[in-house]
Amino acid sequence: MTIDLQTRIGRLNDVLCTVNILNWDARTQMASGGAETRGHQVATLMGIARQMILDPAMRDAVDAAGDDPQAEAVRQAIDHHARLPAELLQAKAQHATVAGAAWAKARAQGNFSLFQPHLERVVALARQTADALGHQGHPYDPMVQVFEPGETAASLGTLFDSLRAGILPILDRARARPKPRTDFLYRDFDPQLQQQFATETARALGYDFDRGRLDTAVHPFEVSFTRNDVRITSRWPRNYLPMSIFGTIHEVGHALYEQGVDPVHTRGAFATDMIGLYAVGGTSFGMHESQSRLLENHVGRSPAFWYAHFPRLRDTFPEQLSDVTTEEFLAAVNRVEPGPIRVEADELTYDLHIMLRVRIEMALMDGSLQVADIPHTWNRAMKSDLGIEIESDANGCLQDVHWSSGYIGSFPTYTIGNVTAAQLMCHLDQKQPSVTMAVSEGNLEPLRHSLKEAVWNHGRSLTRSQILDRLGLSNNDPSAYVEYLDRKFSSS
């Protein structure tokens, strides 16, 4: 890559990192009355970013770089954004902040009607985006490809059908088993002490607080400004302890990926998602989710992790956990218990939550479902799929922040992440058994080193498919994931 192109992409990345700072502030501490103004600010910066990427001098710099594969990625991004009208990009950016504030209010009141007009606008903008980008298949295709290049409605349908067929028999067997004790998870846990424990846990997992911080948000998220400023958030419900613990571990997984990107990729083209115009270091949302779900489930729910950390948790909450053993806690956080909340779902039912959201997104995009009908469709599917009665929109179709941000097309990446995480762990178990042995003994350093070498270092210089291919793994092969779930939940 030429110096001129690298400099131009570095400047673009600086603008997008500034957008991320504004969005982080909006979701953690901005006054609710500032939403409309913040929307204008973000829209202005996104307009500037679009001008920078479509500047003829950027195209000249790409052409001067010749056949450099990194330059080709920039060329594809220029072509992508040339198809999107400036007013559409700015409208999406401006509306996201306003819609986010409306979502938070609607969720707090459990009232979908407060969010409905804003979501209708989100869907309308998504359809305009799909039309502008063009598609030969489903209008969902160009939306999902923003977050996971190469995936389509058809490819996701194949993956989901295979995965569903593998999960449902395991779920039936697991639900027939005796239920572990869980009463202690719902006791009164002081939020400040939860955050204290979460901070200590994040540090133990390798999160570098010199290059990050942990804050409070309605919905946990990670945001990266550069590899040297990677922030995470979580929430601290008084009456459900696992949310703060596993929400934090999940976001630490994202953060380790961002902090672990090789510095060579942090200011050039691949510090920026050129297609989606997001300032991230990871190669795709699906690969990002593989790192968070790997840490949350394969590590964070493992016996070794809790034999090491439960004494500290019990010391933090001696009154609430004095009558609980490590084994009881471990069984409780690995129980199979279908519920309404995705971020609290067990591993067996989690992907069924994702499949519901993706079905709704696809139907919204092709017009077979209207926004006003989402609550009824959602509640009926939860009853059919999981036997769950939804008592409030807050615990139903309003529980996730993604739609307010315009992230239609992002939900499939959670399941892709689950599948990829299992593939990576299976690969390590077969090719580097000392790594998984160390994990079983509570030593995570070899795992971090292996993930850094295989995934984190590359930033956006390799696609998810290329990373898997280097390891001899097939894209979207759910077999390792189904085998992992079967071993974990079918054993006596």
Per-residue pLDDT reduced to its tens digit, 135-164? 888 999 999 998 898 999 999 999 999 999
* Mean pLDDT to the nearest integer, 293-311: 96
The DSSP H or E segment spanning 230 is: strand 229-234
Q: d(Cα 473, Cα 427) in Å, to the nearest integer?
A: 8
Contact 39, 247 (CB under 8 A): no
Q: d(Cα 440, Cα 307) in Å, to the nearest integer?
A: 10
pLDDT at 266: 52
Give the tens place of pLDDT for each residue, 100-125.
999 999 999 999 999 999 999 999 99
Contact 251, 232 (CB under 8 A): yes
The structure tokens 């590899």 sit at: 227
Question: Confidence class of residue 265 from pLDDT cuts 50, 70 and 90?
Answer: low
Question: Confidence class of residue 270 from pLDDT cuts 50, 70 and 90?
Answer: very low
Which of 282, 284, 334 lies closest to 305 in space, CA to CA?
334
Written as one letter, the residue type at 195 is Q
* Catalytic status, residue 296: no
Which of 153, 15, 112 lies closest to 403 in space, CA to CA?
112
Q: Classify residue 57 as exposed, middle or buried by CB count within 10 Å of its CB (0-12, 13-18, 19+).
A: exposed
Task: Give the 3-state secondary structure of residue 454.
Answer: helix
End-to-end CA distance of the chain: 56
Known binder of ligand: residue 389? no
Contact 254, 292 (CB under 8 A): yes
Question: Confidence class of residue 69 from pLDDT cuts 50, 70 and 90?
Answer: low
Known binder of ligand: residue 250? yes
Backbone angles phi, psi at 338, to 5 degrees: -55, 135
pLDDT at 167: 96
pLDDT at 365: 97
Please list, in sequence order, all residues whose beta carbon lies within 8 angstroms of the beta carbon of residue 171, skipping any fewer than 6 positions away.
336, 348, 349, 489
pLDDT at 369: 98
Strand pairing report for 214-216 and 229-234: parallel
Q: d(Cα 220, Cα 251) in Å, to the nearest integer?
A: 7
For the stretch 293-296, contacts whose Cβ atoms lie closer than 8 Å and that sit 24 or more positions apart, written own/partner, are 293/250, 293/253, 293/414, 293/417, 293/418, 293/421, 294/253, 294/421, 294/424, 294/425, 294/451, 295/205, 295/249, 295/250, 295/252, 295/253, 295/256, 296/246, 296/249, 296/250, 296/253
Known binder of ligand: residue 347? no
Residues above pLDDT 90, as percent of the chain: 74
Least confident piece of the model among 57-66, 205-214, 415-424, 428-437: 57-66
Determine if residue 427 is left, alpha or beta; phi over 0 gives left, psi from -120 to 50 gives alpha, anything else beta. alpha
Is the pLDDT reported for residue 272 higher than 70? no
Instruction: Output the pTM of the full model.
Output: 0.90
pLDDT at 268: 44
The DSSP H or E segment spanning 226 is: strand 222-226
Instruction: Kindly name the residue from 251, 296, 347, 361 that is annotated as catalytic.
Output: 251
120, two tokens: 């209708």
What sign does the CA torsion over 358, 216, 116, 344 have?
positive
Q: d(Cα 120, Cα 221) in Å, to the nearest integer?
A: 24
* Mean pLDDT to the nearest integer, 42-66: 90
* Mean pLDDT to the nearest integer, 171-187: 95
Q: d(Cα 233, Cα 99) in Å, to the nearest integer?
A: 20
Q: d(Cα 191, Cα 15) in Å, to the nearest integer?
A: 35
Tell me the domains of the chain and their CATH numbers: 5-83 (no CATH), 153-369+404-490 (1.10.1370.30)
pLDDT at 89: 84
